[in-house]
Structure 1
Amino acid sequence: MINSTFIKNKHLLSRASFGIQFHQINDLDKKSTKQFLSELIAEKEFKPINIVSNDLEIDYATFSKLDSNAKKIKSKKNREQNILLNLKFFDEMLNSEDQLREKMAFFWNGHFATRIINPQFNQDLLNTIRENALGNFGDLLKAVSKSPAMLQFLNNQQNKKGHPNENFGREVMELFTMGRGNYTEKDVKEGSRAFTGWGYGKDGTFQERPRFHDSESKTFLGKTGNFNGDDILDIILTQKITAKFITKKIYRFFVNENIDEKIAEDLSENFYASNYDIKKLMTEIFTSDWFYEEKNIGAKIKSPIELMTGILRILPTKIYNPKNLIVYQKLLGQMLLYPPNVAGWPFGKSWIDSSTLLLRMQLPQIWSGLRPLDLKPKADDDLQMGMSTDLIKKKKNGNENFTIDWPKIEILFKDKNISEILLQKSLNGDGKYINQFSDGSIKMNIINIMSVPEYQLM
């Protein structure tokens, strides 16, 4: 176990939040890790995101009857609203004092992955996830399963007696709860029958539609009865493999991709015994000595969102056109509310390829105005959500959309070891090579250290 409080605090903030915030730098060696954790897990008032206008048409049948021009207008507004929702979620990650909630919401947003165009549905699901992020996993599972976003994305609106749609019934076990290999094809078929009739009305609220529900007996995971959707989820939650599957995924995300099987087993047993208390699980992780062992520090590659928020949290920055952040999300391969598929975003080395690594390492220079952004997102209107790639304005010496408060930063970083603050892992070698590209100023030292491969680790 690492004994340095400074190192432990950096590690905790990199995993339980979106990184060190500017005002926290002086506290890294003054506050105890227990104090930082206490602040992170302290109960705070939940503030739902309410940025999507409520005049959006959410009934597909009605939308399909509109003429082409009206559809175009409506689709454009949907895209604009999704962009605003994306940026609001990003802002919560960046600035919210409820950092652990937002970090957990980021995790669950990738776990319960959906990708739909309806911004009201997206906002409702995001708020459901954020509100329950540190609560009870069973409550979260049921709330997400009944959300219009999930019901639409996995086609349960079309799941009806006599013509069952198995998409949701399969994914709820394979991806959301138990993992592949822990159920049979018969369980998929029988479970899907129990979810028949689950849908949503024109106002976007969950509905159980009796006329579409298969009320005959089903046999699921060894139990037989006239099950409905809630019954199926309850049976899934009684399976210890569910607690193990969720615990291992949380371990990979928050601790290390290389799982310590003994620790994961103990965590999952306690998670199951607590009736799936998420906050209790996270507290156990962050208070355990093994969490702070050297093998777990700097062992994870930052996702694009973690990289971007990490830079912006520690460097006070004015963003003149936040919509530019969408372009960077796309270029780096992680657009909020738009996962690649129902399995969500990848972990680890999947984030790195020849093009994304170069941009990741150049990001501090681009945002500091030292070099222009020379890349453009591919012409993929679906992924761009209708945005123009010309949003990022350029000037000869860089990007004029970001202004970093360097005078303020230089005062705070004066006489501090910059690399010790910014890096989780020590620089390879003696780090002298950084000075070859620096004028010796605090500004250039920070930019250069943020541009090294080691800064990609957390």
Structure 2
Amino acid sequence: MNANTLWSLRLGFSNRQANKIEEMGIEKFLKQSFSTRYKEQLPSFIDSEPKTLAELKEFKLNVKNAVSEEQRKILKKQINNSIEFKKWWIAKMQDNEYPLREKMVLFWHNHFVATSQKVKVNYWVYQHNQLLRENAFGNFKELTKKIIRTNAMVRFLDNIDNKKDKINENLSRELLELFTIGIGNYSETDIKEGARALAGLGLGNNEAKYRRQFEDQSDKTYFGKTGNWKSDDLVDMIFEQKNIPYLITRKILKWFIYDSPPEELIKYYGDYFRKVNFEIEPLLIKIFTEEYPKKNAGSKIKDPLLFIIQLTDELQIKEYGNGLIAIFLKQQGMDLLNQPNVKGWDGGNLWLTSQIYLQRNKTVDMLSSGKILSRKTTEQNTEVVTAIDRNFEKTNVAVAFDSNENNKQIIEELCNRLLFKTNDSMQKDMEMILKYDFDAKEANAPNAVLRLFNYIAKTPEYQLL
């Protein structure tokens, strides 16, 4: 696999940007990626959602007072809006000329987890998602302050139940353990005192707000400092700690390049992150430009989203809708907006269990043969469609190749595009598919190349980047 294709996959969701990276160079490509704009207009699926506490109260009252059939309709519409949310986001990932911002939104989404299933209010989940988009390349400390004051987060981590006379430690604990500094760098006292500082931070109209009757106004001692601290104060003190940069640099390296990032790189980039005052953009520039020349291909297993978008792109499938991608992601354990727990998707080897690998190979076979789910099937609730329910339609598929090349040249062309390495055994297998007398101009040549692609896409090496 050539470096530009590799980094197009790493910085996006397919190899569509490989030529741009080659033409512009990695630094100019990154600068262009950072300058991308995004629409702030509310998507249509949010229009009918409650957006204020008063509207939410009215919505709940309508559900409560409705007869069973009306209740089902109201709740079904809310579920469908959640599905439309996923499709809307997948479209943004696919349609963006410079997709790094959405790749970072997905990273932050898996760092500051707040699932749709628990938050239940689509508008709050959208606000959370949009905040990640706005601050994708901004300041980590400031983003942390904003995130813990979203309705989605205080709802997801139960801070709405955190009151001065009944403390709930969930948000305080995850702020330290998962969001900022990591296990081993704080005490149980810090968790308890932090929870007291967060007491009373509950739901508001546009963001979470403190309610005076539930606040703890007494002094708290946090990381050795005593005062009547609130949420921003906690974050400021956390970011003064020695080990603050390393949790996030580890996760960024793991998200983009290495499933097991070297400790020396975690510290090296972490020290730089502190030096630039926790600004994400310069950190990403340093990481990507310094890792780009290295021979580090094959160091990461593709996540399901990258796998399916690359697969449909290579097969030039136009009818494979975003609802189908959402179904595939859920089956593969990467359900957007609904991670399995507050830790998010662990990734790494968990993206390639025997079951997941089998599902991927079946999907390769299905799509390579031109089979996609029927429109009728995809119009069902995509959250509950299973493999047993599938009804298929046929579509045209094709893999791009140079018809002026011979068998070995076409094999090399596809390998450079799809595989981080090959071996003699694989080469022999591929030459059995495209034999020495293969004529790329014959009418059946595209089908032979399609068989070659099918073989490549089911190899363990194709699962890596």
TM-score tier by shorter-chain length is 0.7 to 0.9
CA distance in 1 between counterparts of 2:403 and 2:8 reads: 19
For residues 280-319 of structure 1, the aligned pairs below 5 Å read 280-288=282-290, 290-294=291-295, 296-319=296-319
Q: How does 1:308-457 map to 2 (within 5 A)?
A: 308-319=308-319, 321-369=321-369, 387-389=384-386, 393-395=390-392, 399-400=393-394, 403-404=396-397, 406=398, 409-410=400-401, 416=410, 417-427=413-423, 429-436=425-432, 441-457=448-464
Say which is worse superposed, 82-91 or 316-325, in terms of deviation. 316-325
The gaps in structure 1 that reach 5 residues or longer are 1-5, 374-380
For 2:96, the aligned partner's letter is S
Residues 392 and 274 of structure 1, relative CA distance in 2, 3 Å threshold: farther
Cα distance, 1:171 vs structure 2 = 0.7
Does the aligned pair in 1 maintain the 2:315–2:368 contact within 8 Å?
A: no
**CA deviation string 1:345-368 (max 9, x = no partner):** 012111122221012123232123
Distance 1:280 1:31, change over 3 A: closer
Preserved contact between residue 44 and residue 98 of structure 1 (Cα < 8 Å): yes
Q: Does 1:173 align with 2:170?
A: no
TM-score normalised to the size of structure 2? 0.85
Cα distance in 2 between the residues matched to 1:25 and 1:243: 31
* Gap runs ≥5 in structure 2: 374-379, 435-443
- The one of 184, 188, 191 aligned to 1:188: 191
1:140 deviation in Å? 1.4
Taking the aligned partners of 2:346 and 2:383, their CA distance within structure 1 comes to 25
How is 1:5-404 mapped onto 2 (pairs within 5 angstroms)?
7-21=2-16, 24=17, 32-41=25-34, 43-48=35-40, 50-51=42-43, 52-57=45-50, 62=58, 63=60, 65-67=64-66, 69=68, 70-116=70-116, 117-201=120-204, 203=205, 205-288=207-290, 290-294=291-295, 296-319=296-319, 321-369=321-369, 387-389=384-386, 393-395=390-392, 399-400=393-394, 403-404=396-397
1:257/1:120 CA distance change after superposition, 3 Å:
same
Q: Write the letter of the residue equivalent to 1:53.
A: I
Tell me, in whole angstroms, the C-alpha distance in 1 between the residues paired with 2:67 and 2:230: 40
1:78 maps to a residue whose letter is Q
* Secondary structure of the structure 1 residue equivalent to 2:180: coil
CA contact (8 A) 1:424 1:455 kept: yes
Aligned counterparts of 2:37 and 2:193: Cα–Cα separation in 1: 40
Aligned residues: 433
* Identity level (%): 30
Per-residue deviation at 1:130?
1.3
Match of 2:175, SS?
A: helix
1:15 maps to a residue whose letter is: R
The alignment partner of 2:221 has SS state of strand
Q: How many angstroms does 1:118 deviate by?
A: 1.9
Shift of the 32–429 alpha-carbon distance from structure 1 to 2, 3 Å rule, reads farther
Q: TM-score, normalised by structure 1?
A: 0.86
Q: Residue by residue, what CA displacement relative to the aligned partner does 1:202-232 show, whole Å, maximum 9, x if unpaired?
A: x453322222211110001111111011111
Deviations 1:349-398, CA, capped at 9 Å, x for gaps = 1112222101212323212335688xxxxxxx9xx775444897534xxx
* C-alpha separation in 2, matches of 1:47 and 1:279: 20
Q: Equivalent residue of 2:363, what SS?
A: helix
**CA offsets 1:6-28 (integer angstroms, 9 cap, x no match):** 8221222121222311xx56667
Residue 36 of structure 1 and its aligned partner are, at CA, apart by 3.8
1:100-124 deviation digits (Å, cap 9, x = unpaired): 1111111111111121332111111
- Whole-Å separation in 1 of the counterparts to 2:243 and 2:461: 36
